[in-house]
Amino acid sequence: MKKILYLDCPSGISGDMFLGSLIDCGLGLNRLSSQLRKMKIGDYSLKARKVTRAGITGVKFDVIYKKHHGQEHSHNKTFKGIVKAVRSSALSNRVKERSIEVFTNLAKAESKAHGVPLEKVHFHEVGDIDSVVDIAGACVALEELEIGEVYCSRIVIANPAPATAYLLQGFDIAITGIPYELVTPTGAAILKTFSRSQIDMPPMRILKTGYGAGSIEIPGRPNLLRSVIGADQADGDTDIVTVLESNIDDMNPQIYEHLIDRLFEAGALDVYITPTIMKKSRPACVLTVISEPSKADILSEVIFEEAPTFGLRRYTAERRKLERKIVEVKTKYGNIKVKLGFFKNAISAYSPEYEDCKRIAKLKRIPFSAVRREAEAALTRGIKTEKPGFGK
């Protein structure tokens, strides 16, 4: 069972709101505290209490600490110092990797905002204990709650800090005139690192719902972040992709190969061309690119640079995939990799790897089809001699 976290951000997001919402979903405060104690960053305590914002109850999470003015604390407010503190901690490797990824995204945004090299970024208030706890705590929370994927709604912002504006590039936002900072740099860095896409709530069975409260009461608006944890019980793997499409009717067909190569180099998941007939009976092609949401902007730029198009369509789609595994079968021509697809724990599709078959066919000077047939036969023999679930 894969768990999904959906973040509803009608009043923005901050690190303490994120942790408050997950505590409201069942994350144990004592467990969170014991995990964070593995990182030696100073004397502090964690507090979580129920509060009401615009008539809705949520959890207000706080880090209580004594500010230090010594040399060590000042050093740890640099990007290098914080990374060193995370790496030297006894946190799990996964939490360390994720925490450093969040801080790296934040440091890159601060570097752009203030025009300083990455290694010289000084986080100021972001380097205080509470923000370090918020970021490392967010990563602990995702691990403790076994969250597999994170999605978010459109984000409402007001008066964003320069770093926040950089971190939210590519996100759908709504501007409000409220005179408060709704999205903090820490909250934006968490979204930048973990959110796969902005969509309406994905199909799932809801397990938990929690609310994380902001520091102040905003008139007429619940200052809350809502977290919804759900389970995706579909067979196979499901994810969200961005689909880019463009009609092209005036490009030299030889250029398609170059365009497709560039798109794959830029991270496209798939690219294909579909012949079509446009208005006035003009023959044309529809270029379709399947992309991870985070790479859609880069791939759009490649299309505009290489193709004579005036626009493209862009939409979000749910992609359902069979569970996959690569196995290697022994044939009389040599070992060949075969991709297996599983549906309800049984093999429902398979395909010998093209490059392996091509290499052997060329080396042995035999037909490609003969190599492929031999790989399929070897796979069938393996399935018959193995227990159910061969290759799993």
110: phi then psi, degrees, rounded to nearest 5: -65, -35
- Where does 238-320 sit in CATH, by number? 3.30.70.1380
CA distance 392 to 384: 14
Mean of pLDDT values over 173-202: 88
Residues in Cβ contact with 20 at an 8 Å cutoff, skipping those fewer than 6 apart: 48, 58, 59, 60, 61, 210, 211, 212, 213, 225
- Write down the domain spans for the chain: 2-233, 238-320, 323-385
Q: How confident is the model at residue 258 (pLDDT cuts 50, 70, 90)?
A: very high
Q: How confident is the model at residue 311 (pLDDT cuts 50, 70, 90)?
A: very high
Distances (CA, A) of 53 to 142, 224, 229: 25, 7, 21
- pLDDT number for residue 392: 45
Distances (CA, A) of 325 to 15, 124, 342, 360, 391: 37, 47, 8, 22, 7
- pLDDT number for residue 131: 86
Burial 223-233 (b: 16+ CB within 10 A, else e): bbbbbbbbebe
Q: Decide: pTM greater than 0.95.
A: no
Residue 61, SS3 per DSSP:
strand
Task: Please state which CATH class domain 323-385 belongs to.
Answer: alpha beta
The pair of structure tokens assigned to 200 is: 């309406």
Q: How confident is the model at residue 228 (pLDDT cuts 50, 70, 90)?
A: very high
Task: Look at residue 242 and tell me whether its pLDDT is greater than 70.
Answer: yes
Q: Identify whether the C-beta of residue 85 lies closer than 8 Å to the C-beta of residue 99.
A: no
The pair of structure tokens assigned to 177 is: 């005139």
**Which tops the pLDDT comparison, 289 or 233?**
289
Question: For the ranges 15-24, 167-176, 328-337, which has the lowest average pLDDT?
Answer: 167-176
Question: For the ranges 69-73, 85-89, 306-310, 379-383, which has the lowest average pLDDT?
Answer: 69-73
Q: How confident is the model at residue 382 (pLDDT cuts 50, 70, 90)?
A: confident
Residues in Cβ contact with 139 at an 8 Å cutoff, skipping those fewer than 6 apart: 94, 95, 98, 99, 102
Mean of pLDDT values over 40-54: 92
Q: How confident is the model at residue 78 (pLDDT cuts 50, 70, 90)?
A: confident
Question: For the ranges 30-44, 141-155, 314-328, which has the lowest average pLDDT?
Answer: 314-328
The pair of structure tokens assigned to 29 is: 């405060």
Mean of pLDDT values over 177-205: 88
328: phi then psi, degrees, rounded to nearest 5: -115, 125
